A and B are shown apart, each in its own frame.
Chain A
Amino acid sequence: DIQMTQSPSSLSASVGDRVTITCRASQSIGTYLSWYQQIPGKAPKLLIYGASSLHSGVPSRFSGSGSGTDFTLTISSLQPEDFATYYCQQSSSSVMYTFGQGTQLVIK
């Protein structure tokens, strides 16, 4: 099974900061990588699919990059509503999908 490892597990930042979250796959997954945002008490929301494609309605300050085993999610200028937990998910293996363990973004 493909393992997904996110770093860091927690990140402290301020409004206006640029932040980057990393996700690493245990084997190559091409660009079958999605990023989700979850606000406490709410369902996850899709941000990025195909490693770098912005889901409709998602602000352009969010961007994704990478292929193979290493991926990043970047928020160019943090807004108050961006403080949440972020998950990556691989969909390369049709046999089993896996999520990363999450990165909690907190206000400094």
Chain B
Amino acid sequence: QITLKESGPTLVKPTQTLTLTCTFSGFSLTTSGVAVGWIRQPPGKALEWLAHVYWSDDKYYNSFLRTRLAIARDTSKNQVVLTVTNMDPVDTATYYCAHLLVAKQYSYHVWGQGTMVTVSS
């Protein structure tokens, strides 16, 4: 059974860097055809794709946020870490990590429960 769980701070101040960790089980991020992605959702708004990292360690980022995002995997810990620099109140959102399968047309097959992050001084 595949599970993912997000963890990190619930409150950050403007200009600070946010670091979120996705801890997963039931699969390996070294297995061909697998990726883990991050998606966020501001309160009452739509989903926004942020980034994902493939089994090959190839990484892709939202072009509008690229300069502020970094994604990294730790295969020994079954974790994927997302950092977002220079946080702003508009970055207040629920942040989800999700398991992607190339074989399912690059769809997000299983999602974590999400973690709410508020940006406020």
Using CB atoms and an 8 Å cutoff, list the residues of chain A in contact with chain B: 1, 31-34, 36, 38, 43-46, 49-51, 53, 55, 87, 89, 91, 94-102
Name the prevailing secondary structure of the B interface residues.
Answer: strand
Q: How large is the interface on B (under 10, 10 to 19, 20 to 34, 35 or more residues)?
A: 20 to 34
Tell me if A99 and B47 are in contact (CB < 8 A). Answer: yes
Tell whether A96 pairs with B63 under 8 Å between CB atoms, given A43-B113, A43-B114: yes
Tell me if A89 and B46 are in contact (CB < 8 A). Answer: no
Tell me if B107 and A34 are in contact (CB < 8 A). Answer: yes
Q: A38-B47, A44-B96 are in contact. List 9 more A-B contacts (CB 8 A).
A: A34-B108, A43-B114, A44-B111, A46-B110, A50-B107, A55-B107, A96-B61, A96-B62, A101-B46
- Write out the residue numbers on chain A whose beta carbons fall within 8 Å of the beta carbon of B105: 31-34, 49-51, 53, 91
Number of A-B residue pairs with CB-CB distance less than 8 Å in the complex they form: 72
Tell me if A49 and B107 are in contact (CB < 8 A). Answer: yes
Give bound CA distance, A44 to B95, whole Å.
12
State how many angstroms separate the Cβ of A48 from the closest Cβ of chain B: 8
Residue of A1, A51, A89 ringed by the most chain B CB atoms within 10 A: A89
Give bound CA distance, A51 to B109, whole Å.
14
Tell whether A94 pairs with B60 under 8 Å between CB atoms, given A46-B108, A50-B104: yes
Closest partner residue, chain B, to A4 (CB atom):
B46
Residues of B54-75 contacting chain A, CB below 8 A:
60-63
State how many angstroms separate the Cβ of B3 from the closest Cβ of chain A: 12
